[in-house]
Amino acid sequence: MSLHGRDLISIRDLSREEIEDVLAAAKRMVPYAGGAKVSHSLDHKIVAMAFFEPSTRTRLSFEAAVQRLGGSCITIADASVTSMRKGESLHDTIRMLGSYADAIVIRHPNEGSARLAARASDRPVLNAGDGSGQHPTQTLLDLATMQEAFGTLSGLRVVLLGDLKFGRTVHSLAHAIALFGSDIVLTSPPALGLPAQARRQLEHMGAKVREQADLHEAIRDADVLYVTRIQKERFGDESEYRRVAGSYRVDASVLADAKPRLAVMHPLPRAGEIAPEVDSTPHAVYFRQAALAVPVRMALLDMILGGRKGD
Ligand code: CP
């Protein structure tokens, strides 16, 4: 089914075939993302960036993607300078943005906010992270990174390390890993495990899911180590955060027993959970992962909103 005019709120909104189409299109976008070729796909189109939470990669790569496709952006980067400070609702803000722009990219601290935004506007809405819910466009670039590293998304063993309770990137990614038939190993502090319902959904899809508390054991036969930051901003109580802060760290000693081709991934930002010494090892793909954000988001925007093709 065509993605034209559709919302992307959850990775579940895309079939396996649609994900494969986006990844194939992202490969074709690489020369456009680097400026070697010029696209007019979004000529005269405006995309609204509605970011009510901090972001570096997601907002700026979306803005770069729009501009590389010939479009332009209007941006809320700080909710405190909008009329929401005067009490305007998210519903009204989004409904109004839909009359200024052709599509809306939203990040918001509340789970379900992107779904609410999609109901408020008849423009396509793309979820750029809703609280602890979903981050589907991150998953697409995560998959592009794995595909580039291994040539396949099937038959891999993927360790999800860190905050699996609040981390929206792993909530989206775990579904996609299951969809493509790779195995999932869950490694987290006990208080930050994957919610039971999310695990049941993966098992219902036929995924092999197991827990392995010991990081050294977990990565021994892993192909991918997907590291996440503890989501400090989601804790209601600072003392609870302090109890788990710093409880895992990937460094050279952790990687000593890893397969030579282990890919260490991270959606970034990192906050101490990957030592800088890992950056210079062949395992580190997290900056490549961040770079792929532009061609992947270009491909998605082109499929949802695009018109005239490149010269
Ligand atoms: N990966 C990611 O969502 O990064 P930002 O929070 O910087 O957008």
Residue nearest to atom 4 of ligand 1 (CA): 57
pLDDT at 266: 98
Residue 195: what residue type? P
pLDDT digits (tens, 9 = 90+) for 200-232: 999 999 999 999 999 999 999 999 999 999 999
Q: How many CA atoms lie within 13 A of 102 on its CB side?
A: 18
Q: Do residues 109 and 204 share a domain?
A: no
Binned at pLDDT 50, 70 and 90, residue 309 comes out as: low
Structure token pair of residue 123: 């423009």
Instruction: Assess contact for 39 and 160: CB atoms under 8 A.
Output: no
Q: Do residues 140 and 267 share a domain?
A: yes
- Residues at CB less than 6 angstroms from ligand 1: 55-58, 129, 138, 267-269
pLDDT digits (tens, 9 = 90+) for 149-181: 999 999 999 999 999 999 999 999 999 999 999
Q: Do residues 169 and 124 share a domain?
A: no
Q: Do residues 115 and 82 share a domain?
A: yes
Binned at pLDDT 50, 70 and 90, residue 236 comes out as: confident
Q: Do residues 230 and 89 share a domain?
A: no
**Percent of the chain having pLDDT more than 70?**
99
pLDDT at 181: 97
Write down the pTM of the prediction.
0.96
Instruction: Assess contact for 11 and 172: CB atoms under 8 A.
Output: yes
Residue 190 lies in a domain: yes
Give SS3 for 282.
coil
Helix axes 57-68, 16-33, angle to 10 degrees: 70
Containing domain of residue 261, as a range? 136-290
Give SS3 for 48.
strand
DSSP state of 109: S
Residue 1 lies in a domain: no
Q: Do residues 154 and 282 share a domain?
A: yes
Q: Do residues 86 and 173 share a domain?
A: no
Q: Integer distance in angstroms from the first to the last C-alpha of the chain?
A: 26
Residue nearest to atom 7 of ligand 1 (CA): 56
Residue 206 lies in a domain: yes
Bridge-based pairing state of the strands 103-108 and 125-130? parallel
Q: Which residues are catalytic?
A: 57-58, 86, 107, 135
Structure token pair of residue 165: 């309770």
Q: Do residues 147 and 215 share a domain?
A: yes
pLDDT digits (tens, 9 = 90+) for 100-130: 999 999 999 999 999 999 999 999 999 999 9
Residue nearest to atom 1 of ligand 1 (CA): 267
Residue 142: what residue type? D
Nearest atom within ligand 1 for CA of residue 58: 8
Instruction: Say yes or no to pLDDT of 1 above 90.
Output: no
pLDDT at 12: 98
Nearest atom within ligand 1 for CA of residue 107: 8
> Which of 127, 268, 273, 288 is the best mutation target for the ligand 1 pocket, counting ligand atoms within 8 Å of the beta carbon and taking the most?
268
Q: Do residues 208 and 108 share a domain?
A: no
How far is the centre of ligand 1, averaged over its atoms, from the C-alpha of 59 (Å)? 8
Bridge partner residues of 210 (DSSP): 185
Q: Which helix H or strand E contains 264, and what residues bound it?
A: strand 263-265
pLDDT digits (tens, 9 = 90+) for 77-86: 999 999 999 9
Number of domains in the chain: 2
> Which of 51, 52, 53, 56 is the best mutation target for the ligand 1 pocket, counting ligand atoms within 8 Å of the beta carbon and taking the most?
56
How far is the centre of ligand 1, averaged over its atoms, from the C-alpha of 311 (Å)? 32
Residue 170: what residue type? V
Residue 58: phi and psi, rounded to 5, are -65, -50
Q: How far is CA 212 from CA 12, 34, 218, 251, in A?
A: 26, 40, 6, 18
Which one, of 216, 199, 109, lies nearest residue 161 by Cα? 216
Instruction: Say yes or no to pLDDT of 237 above 60.
Output: yes
- Give the DSSP letter string of 135-180: -HHHHHHHHHHHHHHHS-SSS-EEEEES-TTT-HHHHHHHHHHHHT
Instruction: Say yes or no to pLDDT of 310 above 90.
Output: no
Instruction: Say yes or no to pLDDT of 311 above 70.
Output: no
Residue nearest to atom 3 of ligand 1 (CA): 58
Q: What's the mean per-residue pLDDT of the chain?
A: 96
Residue 227 lies in a domain: yes
Q: Specify whether the backbone of 141 is left (phi greater than 0), alpha (psi in -120 to 50) or beta.
A: alpha
> Which of 51, 52, 57 is the best mutation target for the ligand 1 pocket, counting ligand atoms within 8 Å of the beta carbon and taking the most?
57
Which one, of 216, 58, 192, lies nearest residue 132 by Cα? 192
Nearest atom within ligand 1 for CA of residue 293: 1
Instruction: Return d(Cα 15, Cα 180) in angstroms, integer.
Output: 10
> Which whole number is the average pLDDT over 276-293?
98
CATH no. for residue 149? Answer: 3.40.50.1370
Nearest atom within ligand 1 for CA of residue 290: 1
